[in-house]
Amino acid sequence: MSYNLKEQMSKPERFAPGHRLCAGCGAGIVCRAMMRAVDPEDKAVICNATSCLEVSSFQYPYTAWEDSYIHTAFENAAATASGVESAMKAMKRRGKLKGNFKVIAIGGDGGTYDIGFQSLSGALERGHDFTYFCYDNEAYMNTGTQRSSATPMFASATTTPAGIESVGKKQTQKDITTIAVAHGVPYVAQTTLLGTFKDFHQKARKAIYTEGPAFVNVLSPCPRGWQYPAELLPEICKMAVETCFWPMYEVENGEYLLTYMPKKKRPIEDFMRLQGRFAHCFKPGNEWTIEAAQKFVDDRWEALLKKCR
């Protein structure tokens, strides 16, 4: 499949400007790119978990979504999508449906890794024909940067603040992408916001047009929670990938494929230094945190490479 950025960007926007997301937030970029992956002749129903995205994109009486959209609660985007997809099947069977619809669920890491985990797992297991996008900004941002199970070790969050007795979050991140793979679903991928969006687009398109459940985890930086100037968003995404903090890969019917191999793996501090949430790690006496973070990234990267053969 050839990819042409200019061609992609000339498509009509399906996530319209005028939403209330912060400058430098990844979520809006995720949504625009996600909707570009739906063929123009197809329609979509977006099922959104309660999140920054929800309160910023559908504040009555305005919506940024050109397609049908439903928000119901925080922990159930996948269950809501299950209902929409089931309705679609029943209505198609009874000749009550016109057009081709794609069911897309989207939630933050709170709504995906944590409170929405059961609902997601259930929907993946049942095999509904839908795609779940997680825009992973690594903490509960809508309520003000509380730690989630996606928050990386040593990040300072408002419930794991750095202090004299604390170097931020103690635990490592939950590997939700691998957990999604363990459901035996046909397509799982991990990507972020890079360059021409070729990687994102190809994975999103494959996910949306694969029959059955698909899961796409997108690293989606948050300028407020990660503490960086808005214009640094692309650089942070790039460093997440170049340090192997956020490997780019996909799993098709259980087969792992690395979709990007950094020419030279950068040290993790190149990713951490750009963000205020890790500032305490660079203070004298805390050098060990960077070493520990490096070891975690290295171990996980090696394990992934083995799976990719």
Partner 1 sequence: MSIRDRLSGNEAIATAMRQINPDVFAMFPITPSTEIPQYFAQYVADGRVDTEFVCVESEHSSMSACVGAEAAGARAITATSSAGLAFMSEMLFVAASARLPIVLAVACRALTGPININHDYSDSMAVRDSGFIQIYAENNQEAYDNYLQAHRIGETADVRLPVMICEDGFITSHALENIELETDQDVKDFVGEYTPENYLLKAENPLAVGPYGVSGYYMEARVAQAEAMKNAKRAILDVAADFEKKFGRKYGFFEEYKMEDAELVMILMGSSAGTGKAAVDELREQGIKAGLIKVRVFRPFPGEELAEALKNAKAVAVMDKSEGFSACGGPLFADTAGACINMENRPKMIDIVYGLGGRDFTMDQAKRVYARLAKIVETGEVGPVYTHMGQRDKRKEVQ
Q: How far is the CB of 263 from partner 1 (least distance, A)?
A: 44
Strand partners, 204: none
Scanning 3-11, 117-125, 210-218, 271-279 for contacts with partner 1 by CB under 8 A, the matching segment is 117-125
Q: Sort strands 101-108 and 131-136 into parallel, antiparallel or unpaired.
A: parallel
Residue 136 to residue 133: CA distance in whole angstroms? 9
Please report how close the Cβ of residue 206 comes to partner 1 at its closest, in angstroms: 24
Q: Is 300 in the site for partner 1 (CB under 8 A)?
A: no
Taking CB under 8 A as the binding criterion, the range among 39-47, 167-175, 212-220, 243-251 that sits at the site for partner 1 is: 39-47
Least distance CB 96 / partner 1 (angstroms): 7
CA distances from 195 to 38, 100, 117 (A): 20, 31, 31
Q: Could you tell me which of 294, 277, 275, 269 has the C-alpha nearest to residue 167?
A: 277
CA atoms within 13 A on the CB side of 213: 23
Nearer to partner 1 (CB atom), residue 103 or residue 218: 103
Rounded CA-CA distance 233/283 in Å is 24
**104, two tokens:** 């897309």
Binding pattern for the stretch 50-69 against partner 1, x by CB under 8 A and - elsewhere: ----xx--xxxx-x-xxxxx
**Beta carbons within 8 Å of 159's beta carbon, 6+ residues apart:** 146, 147
Q: Is 82 in the site for partner 1 (CB under 8 A)?
A: yes
Note whether 17 binds partner 1 by CB under 8 A.
no
Residue whose CB is less far from partner 1, 69 or 135: 69
Which residues are at the interface with partner 1 (CB under 8 A)?
A: 43, 45, 47, 54-55, 58-61, 63, 65-73, 75-76, 79-91, 93-94, 96-99, 101, 118-119, 121-122, 125-126
